Structure 1
Amino acid sequence: MAIKTQTFIDPFEGTPQRFAATVLGMWVFLVVVAMLFLGAIMGYLVVRVNPNLEAPFIPEGATGLPVSLVFSTIALMASSYSMHQATRHVRQGRSQEAHWSMSITMFLACVFLALQVVAWVTLWRQNVLFGDSLYAWSFYVLTGLHALHVLAGFVPLIRVWRKTARGGYSNQHPEGIVYCEMYWHLLGAIWLALYFTLWLGMRT
């Protein structure tokens, strides 16, 4: 009895075409993430400009955004730059430099998260608690949602970091580190939008 075999037909003509398709898929994913945060920011702004709130939006005791957010912003922007450098080193065939840049990126990401915790503790010490006001609720939700996405980013970051240690990427095959860079740059852009929104909300 003859055994029928199925032949897999690759829909892509080669690696460059496959890479372009996966980059497009990554862009779709990033748009979805961006829309999530855009909706959250729009919700914050709608509540902030509502003149019919029963209680003041900003509670007594709140003295403005925690200063640690300035430093966390600097850390995240620096990590975005080091992430870009890692990709550039890969494309130039410098695996060791790429690995060091990834190490710096992960360190700065940890610094960012630590400073976010400092910001939450600062508000807590000012008695600005999660359920006490719309300002507190909005602040914790927006910054917490972003922190969760940064934490989720550690999964691909660690995988890429380990692969760069083995010299697993090249100019011909930079796929994983490129996807990671795209995601990390988005988180940086989203954080800038969140920070500006929260800063503006404290002054209107």
Structure 2
Amino acid sequence: MNPENNPDNHVGARQRPSPFARIERLPPLAVALYLALLAITVMFFVLIVAYVAARLRSGVPTGLHPLPRYFSLSTIVLIVSSYTMAQAPRLYAQDDLASLARGLGATLLLGCIFAGLQVLGWRELMMYGTPFSGPGSQSSGQFIYLISALHVAHLLGGMLFLLAFLLRVIHNERDAVRTLVFIRNPYYRRQLRLLSTYWHFVDVLWVVLFAVFLFMY
């Protein structure tokens, strides 16, 4: 073939898109978040497999004790918090920082309630005869404490970022010029989107964990 007739040699010829083009366009903060979510998913998957294996080895029949009711209440609370967080991008797009601050504040409050209900759930586990350690403890029971505590720790990490963003929203909402600059800044829009992604991920993760506990406890 004549090189001159090869369309790939023409100036301005269309280049084939790289399969990594979309990844290269992602901002570093988004890449870091997605890698963190992948690592968290793998970690909890390993823990769930280890819990199920320990539960089956124990020989104790499932359903012997009911799952703590505070775990059920905390699940409802976290699902509601996912709904309030889902409103945040819409309120941001509507330049309604006052409503955005209220929505983020409600999400933060629901996160605190969830953490408190988890602690009450641990106390209820002890009442059912599932201590974390000691002569009466079982490895499968210890996994419940470990998995739920790790989930709460990841939720608290998200709450810290949520609090920081909420304080920034409250600060900028008090002045019209700061409000305009804040709303038009793509960096803050990206931060809110990544924060929402993380929060929904943590919510879905707990629903999966709760379902495993519900059928295997």
1:56 to 51, 56, 60: 60
Aligned-pair identity in percent equals 23
Worse-matched range after superposition: 38-47 or 97-106: 38-47
Aligned counterparts of 1:97 and 1:19: Cα–Cα separation in 2: 29
2:204 to 173, 189, 194: 189
Give the aligned partner of residue 157 of structure 1: 162
Cα deviation for residue 94 of structure 1 reads: 1.1
Give the aligned partner of residue 78 of structure 1: 80
Aligned counterparts of 2:61 and 2:147: Cα–Cα separation in 1: 16
Distance change in 2, residues 1:63/1:49 (3 Å): closer
Cα deviation for residue 56 of structure 1 reads: 3.3
Give the aligned partner of residue 132 of structure 2: 130
**Does the aligned pair in 2 maintain the 1:58–1:133 contact within 8 Å?**
no
**Does the aligned pair in 1 maintain the 2:62–2:215 contact within 8 Å?**
no
Stretches of structure 1 that go unaligned for 5 or more consecutive residues are 1-16
Stretches of structure 2 that go unaligned for 5 or more consecutive residues are 1-23, 174-178
Distance change in 2, residues 1:18/1:103 (3 Å): farther
Q: Which has the higher helix share?
A: 2
Cα deviation for residue 136 of structure 1 reads: 1.8
Which residue identity is paired with 1:66? P
Aligned counterparts of 2:74 and 2:98: Cα–Cα separation in 1: 27
Give the aligned partner of residue 24 of structure 1: 31
Aligned counterparts of 1:164 and 1:44: Cα–Cα separation in 2: 41
1:68 to 67, 70, 85: 70
Counterpart secondary structure, 2:29:
helix
Cα deviation for residue 57 of structure 1 reads: 7.1
Give the aligned partner of residue 4 of structure 1: none
Cα deviation for residue 130 of structure 1 reads: 0.7
Larger Rg: 2
Give per-residue Cα distances to partners, 1:85-132, cap 9 Å, x unaligned. 112211221111111100000110011011111111111223320121
1:41 pairs with 2:48:
yes
Aligned counterparts of 1:147 and 1:25: Cα–Cα separation in 2: 21
Give the aligned partner of residue 101 of structure 1: 103
What value does the CA root-mean-square deviation take over the aligned residues? 2.2
Q: TM-score, normalised by structure 1?
A: 0.80
Q: Which runs of 4+ in 1 moved over 3 A?
A: 17-22, 55-59
